[in-house]
Amino acid sequence: MFDPQYADRIFEVFQRLHGRNTYEGTAIGLSICKQVVDNHNGIIYASGQVGVGSSFTILLPMAGTSQ
């Protein structure tokens, strides 16, 4: 869960929206996902609502197509 105002920030490496005591991890997972999606000319975005949950959408081009 995250505040929607931070939707772009969560894909930056080592960016935490919560303290280390709240959630485990290194804060690089979503950054790696973004790099993979970018390398495939795709798009990744997130939406969320505090207290409800988060949703991540990944769009990748079909094989053999160009943008």
pLDDT tens sequence for the chain (67 residues): 566 666 677 777 656 555 566 556 566 778 888 999 999 999 998 887 778 888 889 999 987 766 5
Closest CA to 44 of 15, 54, 53, 27: 54
This prediction's pTM: 0.63
User: What pLDDT is stored for residue 9 in this prediction?
Assistant: 72
Nearest CA to 38 out of 12, 64, 15, 17 is that of 12
Q: What local confidence, expressed as pLDDT, does residue 59 receive?
A: 96
Instruction: Indicate the CATH number for domain 4-59.
Output: 3.30.565.10
Domain boundaries, the chain: 4-59
Residue 20's pLDDT is: 60
